[in-house]
Amino acid sequence: MEAKGDYLDELVACLFSCWCSTSRAVSSVSGENEAGKFVMTIQDMRVDTVTALSELIETEDRLGANNYAPLGVVLCRGEGVWVWDIEGKRYLDCLAAYSAVNQGHCHPRIREAMVVQARRLTLTSRAFRNDQLALLYDDLARLTGAHKILPMNSGAEAVETAIKIVRKWGYELRGVPEDKAEILVCANNFHGRTIAIVGFSTDSQRRKGFGPFADGFRTIPFGDFGAFAAAITPNTVAFLVEPIQGEAGVIIPPPGYFAKVRRFCSEHNERYDRTDFARNSRRGRSHGVVVTRRCGRGRWSRPPPSDGYRTRCPGR
């Protein structure tokens, strides 16, 4: 088995060297680490002079799906708030990287934590437990006041899961007739690009060509408490809303709006689900964590936690 491992190491080294010699410049590739195993150290990787900016852009446009319209800049390196393109030009990155990982580029503490964990254990199936998940849950619960947490890979998945949670809650705990649950959403919303989510979008560009869409969503004006209260029915199970709408511009609701919504939900036993984590530079878009809050007065499917988190709802 050891010989087989050495052979694979040599094969990887050979393939990597061939790839680098044809299209990349690598400052150093080391042979063995302290454990005697092959390891590659890439200090600086940059596109060589043969591969022009226009070629990279043309190849990306030709082979990549046309779902974004990026600027004509090809980045290859980043540090903190700065990024560099393949021609050596430096830019101030006002997006701070991307989405929920907007802590900047190559943060030394984050990078070190990634390296340390990758050396110990890279991934486990949820069929097993690991020594980090419980710690993550504990930190998130203390930060958000959540009583249950379900990590997701993307904001759209988080919203989809929230939809499933509130519907099931409505059927099993509220007594809503099967397949009759309704979720209130706001005009000009943006919660992702899945079929269910674009189905309750009011942006024709998001919807065109993707129907038919799922039922069970009612659209109301953003920031209009009267419209919200009037839209509530016995089958309403949740209100899905962005604290600040980002995709439609930067739209902020009137002062006191969410406090009124919170009180109304508590009084009428509705769930209030805010997509309140930044997904990119536009505030209010959803992050890949579903944080459920027991904000209504419905029964628990199991005994409530005794740590006090269950009462920490928005607006309280």
What pLDDT sits at residue 32? 42
pLDDT > 70: percent of the chain: 69
Asked if 173 and 294 touch (Cβ cutoff 8 Å), the reply is: no
Q: What is the band of 60 on the pLDDT scale with cuts at 50, 70, 90? A: very high
Pick 228 or 306 by higher pLDDT.
Answer: 228
The model's pLDDT over 168-225, given as tens digits with 9 standing for 90+, comes to 999 999 999 999 999 999 999 999 999 999 999 999 888 999 999 999 999 999 999 9
Q: What is the band of 274 on the pLDDT scale with cuts at 50, 70, 90? A: low
Asked if 277 and 100 touch (Cβ cutoff 8 Å), the reply is: yes
What pLDDT sits at residue 271? 55
- For residue 169, give every residue at least 6 positions away whose Cβ sits within 8 Å of its Cβ, in sequence order, or none: 237, 271, 298
What pLDDT sits at residue 21? 41
Residue 163: count other Cβ atoms within 10 Å of its Cβ.
25
Q: Which of 3-12, 124-133, 171-180, 287-296 has the lowest mean pLDDT?
A: 287-296
Is residue 293 over pLDDT 90? no
One-letter amino acid at 14 equals: C
Pick 4 or 183 by higher pLDDT.
Answer: 183
What gap in Å lies between CA 74 and CA 93, rounded to an integer?
13
Domains in the chain with CATH codes: 1-51 (no CATH), 72-122 (3.90.1150.10), 133-311 (3.40.640.10)
Which structure tokens are listed for 220?
Answer: 């109301």
Asked if 153 and 279 touch (Cβ cutoff 8 Å), the reply is: no
The model's pLDDT over 93-125, given as tens digits with 9 standing for 90+, comes to 988 777 777 888 999 999 999 999 999 999 999
The model's pLDDT over 26-49, given as tens digits with 9 standing for 90+, comes to 333 344 444 444 333 434 444 454
**How distant is the alpha carbon of residue 98 from its chain centre?**
10
Asked if 171 and 207 touch (Cβ cutoff 8 Å), the reply is: no
What pLDDT sits at residue 272? 55
What gap in Å lies between CA 139 and CA 3, rounded to an integer?
44
Q: How far is CA 26 from CA 43, 50, 107, 133, in A?
A: 7, 15, 22, 36
Element (H, E) at 150: strand 148-151
Pick 249 or 298 by higher pLDDT.
Answer: 249
One-letter amino acid at 240 equals: L
Is residue 149 over pLDDT 70? yes
pLDDT > 90: percent of the chain: 51
Residue 288: count other Cβ atoms within 10 Å of its Cβ.
19
Is residue 230 over pLDDT 90? yes
Phi, psi torsion values for 39, nearest 5 degrees: -145, 145
Closest among 273, 190, 188, 266 to 238, alpha carbons compared: 273
Closest among 300, 219, 314, 221 to 272, alpha carbons compared: 314
What gap in Å lies between CA 272 and CA 258, rounded to an integer?
10
The pTM for the full model equals 0.68
Task: State the burial class of residue 24 (Cβ atoms within 10 Å of its Cβ: 0-12, 13-18, 19+).
Answer: middle
Structure letter (DSSP) for residue 311? G
Asked if 43 and 28 touch (Cβ cutoff 8 Å), the reply is: yes
Pick 4 or 212 by higher pLDDT.
Answer: 212
Phi, psi torsion values for 159, nearest 5 degrees: -65, -45
What pLDDT sits at residue 249? 85
Strand 82-85 relative to strand 90-92, pairing = antiparallel
- For residue 1, give every residue at least 6 positions away whose Cβ sits within 8 Å of its Cβ, in sequence order, or none: none
